[in-house]
Amino acid sequence: MATLAQPGEPLFGIDQSNDGNVIIFGGGLPVAKEGRLIGAVGASAGSVEQDIVVAQAAVSAMDHL
């Protein structure tokens, strides 16, 4: 994970998130409806890029609800 948290990598800045109170991993996206944050969706098991693609598919599917 240290390699992915270096400048220019997908997890850069992870150590600065949430005042150190929550561990965050790449692959999560916020879910908004009508300009309002209503939740989040996340995926884990692949690379950060793969997890983001899966999470984006879930967010996109929610647009059809």
Phi, psi of 2 (to 5 degrees): -60, -40
pLDDT of residue 23: 61
Q: Are 32 and 38 in contact (CB under 8 A)?
A: yes
Q: What is the DSSP letter of 33?
A: E
Could you report the per-residue pLDDT of 13-60, keeping only the tens digit for each? 877 776 766 566 678 888 988 899 998 898 988 888 899 999 999 999
Q: Of the candidates 64, 63, 29, which has an alpha carbon nearest to the alpha carbon of residue 49? A: 29
Look at residue 42 and give its three-state secondary structure.
Answer: strand
pLDDT of residue 7: 93
Choice between 51 and 10, residue whose per-residue pLDDT is larger: 51
